[in-house]
Amino acid sequence: MLPRLTACRHSPHGSPLASLLTYYDDHSRINLRYSRVKPKATKLTRFELQLMEAFWSLGAVSVREVLEHLPEEKRPAYTTVQTMVYRLEEKGALRRVKKIGNAHIFEAVVTRQAAHRRLVDDLLELFGGSARPVMAHLVESGKLTLEDVRAIEYVLAKGGQP
């Protein structure tokens, strides 16, 4: 039989991602945690992007499958990958789709394109929003080809739609 709830308190828990509801009865306390998913423009670290690449390439997979997708040299421990996958879930970049035995299956919520756009936006923010210094560097380093410039001109002529 469930205890009768006599009081309810809402309090912040940890990060702005989650909140904690605490219910009290005469003898114990029951905590129910729920998460608010952040907007899709989630900031991802380099390692998180590497993990996301596995999800984008493989689709819905388990932590073990992500681990096996990583390069063998410098491969982290299973628990490290598991922790990072759970953090990506908290950030709203991944979601659990099902459970098979003891393994949870996750899939990407954030698309590769959305993650790349966020990276480029963050880079441009470092230069005050101007793309000129970045473009100048790409030209000087030889990483921007004539074919790239033509593709950019085509996109600009269409009004910014690829």
Give the pair of three-digit tokens for residue 85.
């996958």
Contact 30, 8 (CB under 8 A): no
pLDDT given at position 158: 86
pLDDT given at position 19: 39
Asked whether residue 9 carries a pLDDT value surpassing 50, the answer given is no
Asked whether residue 34 carries a pLDDT value surpassing 90, the answer given is no
Q: Which of 64, 89, 57, 91 is nearest to 79 (CA)?
A: 64
Asked whether residue 94 carries a pLDDT value surpassing 50, the answer given is yes
How distant is the alpha carbon of residue 13 from its chain centre?
20
At 79, is the secondary structure helix, strand, or coil?
helix
User: CB under 8 Å to 3, separation ≥6 — which residues?
Assistant: 25, 26, 27, 28, 30
Asked whether residue 8 carries a pLDDT value surpassing 90, the answer given is no
Give the range among 1-5, 45-49, 52-56, 70-74 with minimum mean pLDDT. Answer: 1-5
pLDDT given at position 33: 45
Q: Is 86 exposed, middle or buried (0-12, 13-18, 19+ CB in 10 A)?
A: middle
Asked whether residue 117 carries a pLDDT value surpassing 80, the answer given is yes
The third-level CATH classification (topology) of the domain covering 46-108 is: Arc Repressor Mutant, subunit A (1.10.10)
The angle subtended at Cα 61 by Cα 59 and Cα 64, nearest 5°, is 140
Convert the pLDDT of each residue in 121-143 to its tens digit.
999 999 999 989 998 899 899 99
pLDDT given at position 42: 77
pLDDT-based confidence at 159, cuts 50/70/90? confident
pLDDT given at position 35: 44
Helix axes 46-58 and 112-126, enclosed angle (nearest 10): 160
Stretch 38-44: mean pLDDT = 66
**Domain residue extents for the chain:** 1-36, 46-108, 112-157
Question: Tokens 């993990």, residue?
Answer: 51
Asked whether residue 148 carries a pLDDT value surpassing 70, the answer given is yes
